[in-house]
Structure formats: structure tokens, C-alpha cells
Chains A and B, each alone.
Chain A
Amino acid sequence: MQAEKLKGHLDLLLLSVLSRGPGHGYEVITRLNAHSDGAFDLPEGTVYPALHRLEGAGLLASTWDVVAGRRRRIYRLTLAGEAALADQAAQWRAFSGSMSRVLGASAFRVLRFPAFRANGTGLAAGTQLAGGAA
């Protein structure tokens, strides 16, 4: 997926990943890639300003810990973050459902009536409207 498209949804994705358990930056990116089967490919550095912004907004909290011999900042979801995740996820599902219904209907027409594909009008060349003048 294009990085620019993904950026608009990065907050929701990060909140979602962290809802499955606390993690440091690299871990968050690894989980994001794993859950999306590698589809969400954006410069990894972009998650840090997003994580800091979410922490500033009170949706995440962080603590420092030593993991595998390295000092790391571990992020976890706050209660406000959980509420924001629920809200944003509901909005996304509603939007996604509407998109799917529209796209699903178009796809059905294209498959059922190949003429839609021919000239984009829904009418194949030479086809007349049903009931139209001969």
C-alpha cells in the first residue's frame, strides 16, 4: 500500500497494534508488518513521530525498560487510547462497509454485464436502451 495513503490511518493502526499488548517501536512495526502480511510498507521512522504525538494526546503512555540488553521505550494503550481506538475502529468499519457495498455492486455489474467494461457507459457499442426508439 502507498505510504501516503497509509499515513492517514497510521494512528488507528498503531492503537490497534498496541491494543494487543505493550511494545517498543521496532516491535510495533514488526507486528504491523506481520498482521498486514507485509502490505503496510512505510518508512519505519514515521511511526516515531506518530507514537510521540499519540503519547502527547494521552492515548499512549510509555516507560523505559531494558529488553534484550537494550534500553527501550515501551508504549502501552491508556484508557483514553482504548476509547479512541473503539471510536476510530467503528468509524473505519462504517466507512469500509459503505465502500465495500459500492465497490461490490460495481464489481457485480462488471462481471454480470461485460458491456459496462467496454465503454464505461454501461452500454456496448450499437446497443439501444430497452424500450427506446428503433
Chain B
Amino acid sequence: MNSGTADPPGDLIEDYLDRLLVSLSGSPRQVRHTLAEVEAHLRDAVAEGMAAGLPEETAQAQALERIGPVHAVTGRPAVLTSPSRALLRRITLTCALVGGAGLVAIGGAGLMGRLLQALKGNLFMTTPFPPGTYTRADCARWLAGDPGSRSCVTAMLADHAFDYLLQATACGLLGLLVLAAYLILRRRWSDRATTTALPVGTAELLGAALAGVAAVFFLAQVADLETVQHGVGVGQPLSLGIAAAVAAMAFALGFRRCLRAARLRAA
């Protein structure tokens, strides 16, 4: 389709083929083949009309009238070839990418938290409950979970730190599953209508914005804890803040790459 030169203005056949291209579903090969078939069909019909003495524009209009609307060629009802379905798919892909990457970032925070726990201890990772807010039964449960602890507070800190690391690891694993689903769906929904339903780099920009806000939020918490509690419990927001900042940078780089690729394609 793209000959490297500008399309002639008002070419009805080219307009029709553009609409068909964004409505076709299937593998890239199926899309290319159907497009080639239909283009050959339309060019034949136009040539026939012109041979019968029609002006080119009339012959094109007649050829398009005979072939019917785009959904006649796609074989699907018009509602299924509408942009709304493609948009829904694109939004699903965007949510899967942003959500999956976010969960993986939390998993990364968990790994970082484990490192911080090993280096700085449980008091750095979590804040103990104030005295009087927990019962003897709570203490017994925490001590049973960490028999090596010498006090209730130490066992409580170990329990809380363990919970945080466990939940972060679970989020990371869930994120990997979501990203795997994203890759499968992206391959399945590789039609042009879906890939162009949202502006280039939307997912990356959204991910960078959300992760950036999360990074600022958690790092502000770190500053607050440093000031108010002198570093107690800083580990959790610090690991989450660093992971969010890394995710924001990765998304920002992805966004820049998308823009650059789009500019190259346009050129």
C-alpha cells in the first residue's frame, strides 16, 4: 500500500482500502492477503468501468458500490468492526500492561525489602504497634511464629516484615501472570484497528504517570518517617518508592521509544 509517495487526494479506492485495513482481524498474513485480493478486485472493476467509457472517479464509485461496505468483506457485522470493540481491546491491553508491570514492581520492592531486612533488621522494615494496642494472645501468636525472638515486640516486627515480603512476592508472581496474558492477548489482537485505537504510547505514558505519583507518595512517606520516627519502618515505603521510581523510568523510556518509532514510521 505504501509506495513511499503521497497518496493522490480523493482516491476513493485508497480510502476504502484504508478503512478495510483497520477493520480486518486475523494474523498479519491474513490481513495482507485479504487486502491484496480486494485491491486487485477493485482495480479490475475500475479498469472495466473505464474501458466501458466511464470517467475514473465514476468507475471507482461504481466499483465500491458493487463490492459493498467494508463489513461485507470482513464478514462480520458492522458493530463488530466498529472502533468501539477495538478500543475496548486496546484499553484491556493497556490495563494489563500497566497493572502487570505495577504488580511486578511491587514484587521487586519485596526483593529489595528482603535485602534491606537482611542489612538493617526488622525495625527498619516495619513500625511496631504502640503498647496497649495488642493483646497477650497476639503476642503468643507472634512468638509462636518466631520462636527465636526474645520479646513480643521483636516477634511482632518479624511477623509484620514477613507478611510484607510474602504479599509483595505474591504480587510479583501475579504481575508476571498478568504480563504473560498481556503478551498472549497482544499477539491475538494484533489487528491494526486495535493497535491504533488509542494514541501511540498511551499505556507507557499512563504507566509512567501512575508509577511517578506512587514513587513521590512513598518517598514522601520515607521523609516523614525519617523525621518523625527516626528511620523506624522506613524499609517498606523506601522499597516501594524505589520500585515505583524504576517502573516510572522504564515506562518513560518506553514512551520515548514509542514516539521515536512513530516519528520514523511517519517519515
Contact = CB atoms under 8 A, between A and B. Distances in A.
Interface in A38-73: 42-46, 48-50, 52-53, 70-73
A95 interface: no
Contact of B44 (A45, A70, A71): A70
Interface in A10-63: 24-26, 29, 42-46, 48-50, 52-53
B40 A48 contact: no
Interface centre among B37, B45, B73 (most CB of A within 10 A): B37
Interface centre among B33, B34, B44, B75 (most CB of A within 10 A): B44
Interface of B: 30, 33-34, 36-38, 40-41, 43-45, 66-70, 72-75
A26 B43 CA distance: 10
25 contacts: A24-B40, A25-B38, A25-B41, A26-B40, A26-B41, A26-B44, A29-B41, A42-B68, A43-B68, A43-B69, A43-B72, A44-B67, A44-B68, A45-B67, A45-B69, A45-B70, A46-B75, A48-B38, A48-B75, A49-B73, A49-B74, A49-B75, A52-B30, A70-B44, A73-B37
B68 A25 contact: no
A46 B74 CA distance: 8
Contacts of B73: 45-46, 48-49
Contact of B37 (A42, A46, A50, A72): A72
B66 A43 contact: yes
B32 to A, nearest CB: 11
Given A26-B45, A52-B75, A45 B40 contact: no
Contacts of A48: 34, 37-38, 73, 75
Interface residues of A, number: 18
Contacts of A73: 33, 36-37
Interface centre among B30, B40, B45, B74 (most CB of A within 10 A): B40
B51 to A, nearest CB: 12
Nearest to B39: A70
A103 B246 CA distance: 79
Interface centre among A29, A48, A50 (most CB of B within 10 A): A48
A100 B49 CA distance: 39
Interface of A: 24-26, 29, 42-46, 48-50, 52-53, 70-73
Please give me the 7 A-B residue pairs with the lowest Cβ-Cβ distance, nearest first.
A43-B68, A49-B75, A45-B72, A45-B73, A45-B68, A45-B67, A43-B72
A42 B68 CA distance: 8
Nearest to B72: A45
B43 A70 contact: yes
Given A26-B40, A44-B68, A52-B75, 17 more contacts: A24-B37, A26-B41, A26-B44, A26-B45, A44-B41, A45-B68, A45-B69, A45-B70, A45-B72, A45-B73, A46-B68, A46-B72, A48-B37, A48-B38, A49-B74, A52-B34, A73-B37
Contacts of B70: 45
A72 B38 CA distance: 9
